[in-house]
Structure 1
Amino acid sequence: MNQNIDWPEKTRDVHTHHFDSTIWDDLKFRDDDIIIATYAKSGTTWTQQIIAQLIFDGDPDLSVAEMSPWLDLRVPPKEVKLPLVEEQTHRRFIKTHLSVDALRFSPKAKYVYIGRDGRDVVWSLYNHHSNANHLWYEALNDTPGRVGPPIGPAPADIRDYWRNWMDRDGFPFWPYWENIRSWWDIRHLPNVMFIHFADLKQDMPAEIRRIAAFLEIPINEARWEAILEQCSFDWMKKNATKTVPLGGAFWDAGAEVFINKGVNGRWRDCLTEEECADYEKRAETELGAGCARWLANGGEVTVNS
């Protein structure tokens, strides 16, 4: 029934200290695969936890980070990672931070894209980056096959971090605007769903039910309260070793620092009115008014917005 749809096609590869997009070329898609897509620090781990809880009826003992790999992360290399993904027997839910044009797209998989205001993203990225230890740098910079410059330490002042990220579009990670724009452009596709960090914060039960409906996962009502509890930030922070990659070994403060605060608006005490206005103008220029409005506030996504 989808024969007349122009499905996205991969047009490029991305190789950086983080990315090796070629792994998607060799993935054997299954018809029920779930792809969790974000820029980064937008609620990815939260969404992975939600989907895991839905699939497994509120099981508190899931090793979600192992079950839901970041496929395009170049560590471990695809020769190691891909066979592990192929061996999975449960319904797979795989994470990506790629833009659509660097991703091999399956018409039969389900794609869940999570958005978050760029200012909140940067504040969370800074926490992630500034707390990383030598193991994180060694894995990203010293694992053979890196293309491009290494990633260096975060500056001491978060305002410097903000300016670099804005002036160099996502530095030192990857471009922000193209990621949002590329997914927004395919929001009309029947197998693509948009959710927003702010909406999850405002009404998590309703958003979980919406996600379940899209993924066609029947909710076990007898386990509903357990699902909600185990998707809360408090529970995830207390049990962070189950949801954070390698149990938090890349952060000296432990897995809990990866989960962080789960709050928005921390930038309000740092950015000036002029800086906020510059960001908002840039968002509208890069994304268009409808997408920029959704990215800032969440809410319903319409094809004509």
Structure 2
Amino acid sequence: MPDSLIRYRSDDEDSIRWRDFPLRPGDIVISTRSKSGTTWMQMICALLVLRTADLPAPLSVLSPWLDWLIEPAEQVYGRLAAQRHRRFIKTHTPLDGVPADPLVHYVVVARHPLDMAVSLHHQSGNLDRARLAELTGQTGPAEPGRRRLSIEEALVRWVDADPDPREQLDSLPGVLWHLRDAWARRDQPNVHLVHYDDLIADLAGQMRRLAELLGLDPPGPDLVEAATFDRMRSRADRLAPDPAGVLKDRQAFFRNGRSGQGSALLGAADRARYHARVAALAPSDLLTWLHRGR
């Protein structure tokens, strides 16, 4: 891995895998934070590239999470090397941890951080901790005996937490680290920022925009319909990112996809503290774009 790249590691991922992965001209790297539209963007890219709603394999096979330690690196590299279509690859690594190639496209999806945190809390409750511990070799009880925090309590704790963003990427500092880096690259012709709320408001328009940026044909109504949240939820067995069986309920992975829930769960004082925190973590123009007036 080039010295200029930052290495990101957790119990189940390691960005060092990008060091030995040979990129191809035209590759699409989908770089997002958890619960910020990763699977949605993978599906959109699959539809634009393959031109069919009947995918030839589960989405996680077509578009593997390259950094995920559960699957051996050589196996992931081999599957991607065998693909003859244009590749679209998932990562939760910020762009400063992925090799930059002017012939590769990088798509970063941003979501209001409070909405992302709400979805992350619900996702945490849908994980099979025993299975995850088995796969990652973790020791200790799979289900701690402490009381699970309410969504309101968890959200306040998430706003107040101040970990190293390179170690806890799904923290508030980690989210804004990821987006701040992408925002600084937004004028590069091969870096494309997409807002989650825009996908909700105008999916067809956003798919046409992305197709143009990627040099692909625009989608027909059938492909747009296949990318709707309800349609994806109805096909959760094929589309949920769960090749190792760590989800208790695949359909619950697609919970509701709405925006605005996070802000509504905080009181006025907690919302003010959130805005003070993010103002210290990201530039004002990024926050204006990210919050969309909410």
**TM-score normalised by the chain length of structure 2:** 0.87
Partner in structure 2 of residue 176 of structure 1? 175
Q: Deviation digits for residues 39-94 of structure 1, max 9, x if unmatched?
A: 12111111111111111113333422210111112221313322222222211000
Q: Of the candidates 26, 35, 45, which is equivalent to residue 51 of structure 1?
A: 45
- Indicate if the aligned counterparts of 1:10 and 1:105 stay in contact, CA closer than 8 A: no
Pairing 1:216-227 to 2, within 5 Å after superposition:
216-219=215-218, 224-227=220-223
1:270 to partner: Cα distance: 2.1
**Letter matched to residue 155 of structure 1:** R
**Letter matched to residue 148 of structure 2:** P
Does residue 250 in structure 1 map to residue 246 in structure 2?
Answer: yes
- Indicate if the aligned counterparts of 1:112 and 1:195 stay in contact, CA closer than 8 A: yes
Does residue 42 in structure 1 map to residue 39 in structure 2?
Answer: no
1:28 alignment partner, SS class: coil
Task: Give distance in 2, aligned partners of 1:212 and 1:168.
Answer: 38
Q: Deviation digits for residues 24-52 of structure 1, max 9, x if unmatched?
A: 00111100100111112111111111111
Does residue 230 in structure 1 map to residue 226 in structure 2?
Answer: yes
1:151 to partner: Cα distance: 9.4
Q: Of the candidates 257, 261, 267, which is equivalent to residue 262 of structure 2?
A: 267
1:162 alignment partner, SS class: helix
Task: Give distance in 1, aligned partners of 2:270 and 2:134.
Answer: 34
Task: Give distance in 2, aligned partners of 1:280 and 1:100.
Answer: 25
Task: Give distance in 2, aligned partners of 1:112 and 1:92.
Answer: 13
Task: Give distance in 1, aligned partners of 2:282 and 2:264.
Answer: 26
Does residue 161 in structure 1 map to residue 157 in structure 2?
Answer: no
Q: Of the candidates 73, 76, 96, which is equivalent to residue 81 of structure 1?
A: 76
What stretches of structure 2 of length at least 5 have no aligned partner? none
Cα gap change, 1:245 to 1:139, in 2 (>3 Å): farther
Q: How many residues align?
A: 283
Using the aligned pairs only, state the percent identity: 28
1:36 alignment partner, SS class: strand
Partner in structure 2 of residue 186 of structure 1? 185
My pick for the range that moved more, 59-68 or 13-22, is 59-68
Task: Give distance in 2, aligned partners of 1:242 and 1:266.
Answer: 27
Cα gap change, 1:26 to 1:172, in 2 (>3 Å): closer
1:247 to partner: Cα distance: 5.8
1:245 alignment partner, SS class: coil
Partner in structure 2 of residue 94 of structure 1? 89
Cα gap change, 1:291 to 1:150, in 2 (>3 Å): farther
2:15 alignment partner, SS class: coil
Q: CA RMSD in A?
A: 2.6
Partner in structure 2 of residue 25 of structure 1? 19
